[in-house]
Amino acid sequence: KESADAQFARQHVDNPKTSARNDRIYCDLMMQRRGLTRSACKPTNTFIEAPINQLQDICKYAGTPIGGNLYDSHRSFDITVCQVLPGSYPGNCKYRAAIGNTRIRVGCEDRLPVHLEPTYLP
């Protein structure tokens, strides 16, 4: 079974960023490639363009604990937020993309990121 931190990496880490003709195609490709459209089209998912060790550091010294197991990153990351389009269904999941640079909030277990809080771009 996939560990929680491996699942976090599969769902959220894309470094260097996979190339695609445009951001919408990027989302369609990445959501499928990372197994996020198999049983249902995952409604929203964020990909972070950063090495996994930078994200792991948020759970150690590069993040501020805000309660529970949640940490806010000190630095901003380049991210792509993929949101499913109406009418999508498994086998034909279509997404819209929003790109930006923002701080992120992760949930940590054993000093490893295992959860990404929903990320909202301005």
Which residues are designated catalytic?
Answer: 12, 115
Distance CA 108, CA 104 (A): 13
Task: Return all residues near 38 (Cβ < 8 A) that are at least 6 apart.
Answer: 90
